[in-house]
Structure 1
């Protein structure tokens, strides 16, 4: 990640505990002197400009610069971004995530599709500092910005990355989190008042629900591509002071990147339009389902995405297929972040109401599932040659009434 933004309130919220100012100044001074050389070796510790610019769930970011009036000696940068990784607690899966993210960052840097990389060291790296700001939730729905995002997503999906091409990440991650959640519950680490917030979710058989979801999505053909898997507004930076011919956007934070189903990445991005993490008051987010992209905005995005991906025009059939992938994988997005929220509510000290966020995502999951099943029933009824028009209308009315009643009960 570079620039002035990391995952905003949002990593999906908050900031890890910062290191003391003297400690980080000493560390930044030694790292910049060792890896950047040139003018950085001529300044004193106290002359170094150090400022914490942002923080997320797992990383600390610092702006480091030469003092005013101090010019570079050779081609070394005058300012950089220092990233300090959070603790991995020795978990191999988390350590591997750090390695993967470094590989991706290096590839983007060398291909001029991301910030330059100035140094990798145990526990972090030095990156190019890009004057930029994270997008707002509202900008995700802006027509012009949305098309630029579609171009950026197509570019990511066309990357060839030297990591496993098997699409195991999504299900492996969900199943691991589900096991962790059950272990915490068995250990009595969740207070009764917190459990009450998602009692309806806890009382459901999530393992069975996950089996249903995997089976349902197995019938949806979605290409496996390199995915970002967290395309929310805080991970998309708008560059400052760029020409009209320059790409204005930079996608950052590849913490969750993996080869995955295209439908998940696109659906997850659309879902982010409904959740605004800039709320400074409890519960520190707003859930606004009405802000989900309209059918027209979805189609416009997908057409631009496909055109950018394929280098030309795309057919209506292709657009329809991708929209179908998005609709189906919206379920996976809600399930993924719903379980993520429960886990973080237990282990995180960040000021963010993970419980209510998880409740919002699970509620959206079951509402969307009901809508999908209702529409599939409708299609079956309309395709049944043995039913008369009157029979069909009666069945549709009964189906709608039944689904509405069921939805009320689950909420």
Structure 2
């Protein structure tokens, strides 16, 4: 799959150095230069409102007079004085999003500038964690995720969308070079997080081991308790365990939390808003999802995924396990992690017709004593679904590790008032709480 046609670009960067008002004026001027039909607009013709200020960006809505359509302007990087480019490859993200736009994923990009982009504003509803886990939404999310995983060409290595894992230390990114010059901190050889989930985990671990919190004795004391040698050894073992399930390589979202799942209002138009029909899943084919009771949850709208900052090709299991971890919601209640029965319901809608039967046959071959020819088909299919759960669960541990290590970097560089070291400890605690249970599932279905 080739990239879509690039939207208009402007090299200008939005700076907040001279205050919010001047930055807003710059954003409006940028819109008049880049967007068709906006060139004659005056500053007072446009209304601006803040949508969000996230960990790694600022998002504002700019509304012109009718019939022109409003846009969302996203500004990245040093808006809050952070160093998110150490964690996110913005160039890779841009190319990924343009390719995804071409096949109906993400908000349509209508303009690019030096440190951000302009997207079509989509009237939508963001799911809550409770809705994301609701049986009414699950079939739609599962089918949409399968459509995402099935995108042609996105699972292949692409030099235009990923930094090579072996990038030489002599060619650091500007952000990494700046951090290195400033003193103790991340080094420039770290691979792009878009290279693979494991590259990101081990690369961020390299960065974390070199961090210093001398400016904050309380943080330094907490950080000094981290046993990086044991953590690295544990992650090496986990990677081998994950390898046993032979999870298929797909293009993964990697951050499919409720806030990144939207229901687009039915009146929305545009090439990226009109998403392709999801793949027909085994569950949807038998439960009437398309026209039954669950169809009402979308209210005639369409499900859409956004925010591909951490997306990359990698094992399907990571996307599944990470998504299930997000059932915990913003209060991190990991007791909400889906049961085997809830996961089975998700997988029935994720799978295409005939796939469950093929997986059942593979389960019979792996476990002939229990699931030989005399065992009923229902038992073999139940075992196949539990095998998928084993894949998702072992990668759920990898997801805890991913965000647990990520949090070390955020603790050092993010200006947001949030205890990232405590959050990391929470993720690692859940990792260890579920480890034996999830490893036992792998041993049962994918013996060494």
TM-score class normalised by the smaller sequence = 0.7 to 0.9
For the pair 1:47 / 2:72, whether they are aligned, the reply is no
Q: Which runs of 4+ in 1 moved over 6 A?
A: 16-19, 308-314
Alignment map for 1:2-401 (pairs within 5 Å): 20-38=19-37, 40-67=38-65, 71-72=66-67, 77-87=68-78, 97-161=89-153, 164=157, 168-185=195-212, 189=214, 191-194=216-219, 197=222, 201-202=226-227, 205-241=230-266, 247-276=301-330, 286-307=331-352, 316=381, 318-373=384-439
CA shift in 2, pair 1:347/1:245, >3 Å: closer
Contact 1:184 1:190 in 2 (8 A): no
Cα shift at 1:61: 1.0
Cα shift at 1:215: 2.0
State TM-score, norm by structure 2.
0.68
Contact 2:247 2:316 in 1 (8 A): yes
Deviation per CA, 1:342-363, whole angstroms, max 9, x where unpaired? 2211111112221221111000
Contact 1:154 1:309 in 2 (8 A): no
Deviation per CA, 1:29-72, whole angstroms, max 9, x where unpaired? 2222122232x2232112211111112122111101113xxx34
Q: Which protein is richer in helix relative to its size?
A: 1
Cα shift at 1:261: 0.5
Deviation per CA, 1:65-85, whole angstroms, max 9, x where unpaired? 113xxx34xxxx421111112
State TM-score, norm by structure 1.
0.74
Aligned residues: 346
Deviation per CA, 1:323-377, whole angstroms, max 9, x where unpaired? 1210211110111111111221111111222122111100011122232456678
Cα shift at 1:135: 1.4
CA shift in 2, pair 1:238/1:210, >3 Å: same
Report the RMSD for the aligned CA atoms in angstroms.
3.5
Cα shift at 1:92: 12
Contact 2:391 2:442 in 1 (8 A): no
What is the rounded CA distance, in whole Å, between the counterparts of 2:219 and 2:151 in structure 1? 42
Contact 1:118 1:128 in 2 (8 A): yes
Secondary structure class of the residue paired with 2:245: coil
What is the rounded CA distance, in whole Å, between the counterparts of 1:19 and 1:258 in structure 2? 36
Indicate the larger mover: 300-309 or 322-331.
300-309
What is the rounded CA distance, in whole Å, between the counterparts of 2:32 and 2:353 in structure 1? 42
Indicate the larger mover: 173-182 or 232-241.
232-241
Secondary structure class of the residue paired with 2:416: coil
What is the rounded CA distance, in whole Å, between the counterparts of 2:148 and 2:266 in structure 1? 24
Secondary structure class of the residue paired with 1:184: coil
Cα shift at 1:20: 3.0
Contact 1:151 1:305 in 2 (8 A): yes
